[in-house]
Amino acid sequence: MEILIVEDEKQIVELIRTSLEAEGYRCLSASNGLDALKVFRSRQPDILLLDIGLPGQLTGLEVCTRIRQEPGVNPFIIMLTARICEIDRIIGYSSGADDYISKPFSPKELAVRLRAVVGRRDRGKRVQGRKNEILSPHFIIDLDARQVMMQKGVKLELVTDLSTVEFDVLVLLASEKGRVRTREELLDLLKGLDFVGDMRAIDGIIYRLRKKISPDGDREKFIKTHFGIGYSFKDEREEVAINEASDITSTKTFTR
C-alpha cells in the first residue's frame, strides 16, 4: 500500500512517515495542493492523508474534489484537520473524503483509522463485487466516494449531511432491498466497522437517516420498520411525469 501524505508541516510529515513505514506502508509526500496532484497523477497512491489547511492555490478540500473527478484509481482520502467543527466534516464528506482525523493525533490512532478504512473498502468490495455503486430507483450510492445521490423531482441531489455510521447503515440496508435486518444484525455489522454503541443507538441512527433521506416527512418511504424485529429498505420506481424537460440528463442517469 502506498500512501501520499499532503501536509505543509515537515515535522508532522516525518512523524507520520516514520510510524506508517514501521507499519509496512510506503510513503510519498507533498507540501502543497499542486504538488499533491502531480504526485497523485504520476504514482497513483492507494491512500491520501490530506491536510485541509495547505499553503498555495489549492486547499485540501479542493485537492480532494479534483482527485474525485479524475478518471482511473479512486484512492482512500483521509482529511487531516486542526478544526474539529462539524461543518468541516460535512464539507469534507461532500467533497469526497472517506474519513477524518483531527490534529493532534497519535501515530497509533492514525494506524488504527487506516486499518479501519482499508478494511471497510475491502468488505464493501466483497459484497458488491466489481461494482462500487448501489443503484436504486431513488438513489445512487457511491461506495468509493461514500456519497449518496438522491432523486428530488426530476433532479439528482447530493445528500450532504449523512454521518459515517448513517451512510454505513444505508449501505447495509440498501445493498439487499427488502431483506429485513434485525437490530442485533445491524449492530454486529456496524461493530465490524468499528462502531461503538448499543441497540438503542440503532434506532437513533435510523431516525436521523430517515429525516435526511425523507425530507417530505414520509418516514416509511424508504426504510420500513418491522416491529420488534428490525428494518428493511424499500425503494420502488414511480411514474414520474416529466413536464419540464429541464433535467433530462440526470433522469437518464437514473433509469439506466
Q: Residues in the site for Ca ion, rule: CB under 5 A? A: 8, 51, 53
Which one, 8 or 194, has the nearer CB to Ca ion?
Answer: 8
CA gap 2, 45 in Å, rounded: 5
Beta-bridge partner residues of 197 = none
CA gap 170, 232 in Å, rounded: 10
Which one, 51 or 99, has the nearer CB to Ca ion?
Answer: 51
Q: How far is the CB of 79 from Ca ion (least distance, A)?
A: 11
Which one, 5 or 205, has the nearer CB to Ca ion?
Answer: 5
Q: How many CB atoms lie within 10 A of CB 130?
A: 5
Residue nearest to Ca ion (CB): 53
CA gap 32, 54 in Å, rounded: 6
Q: How far is the CB of 9 from Ca ion (least distance, A)?
A: 6
Which one, 27 or 49, has the nearer CB to Ca ion?
Answer: 49
Q: How far is the CB of 3 from Ca ion (least distance, A)?
A: 17
Which one, 1 or 12, has the nearer CB to Ca ion?
Answer: 12
Question: Which backbone phi and psi does 54 adopt, to 5 degrees?
Answer: -110, 150
Q: How far is the CB of 112 from Ca ion (least distance, A)?
A: 22
Which of 72, 17, 65, 5 lies closest to 41 in space, CA to CA?
A: 72
**All cell numbers assigned to 115:** 486499518
Q: How many CB atoms lie within 10 A of CB 87?
A: 8
Q: How far is the CB of 116 from Ca ion (least distance, A)?
A: 24
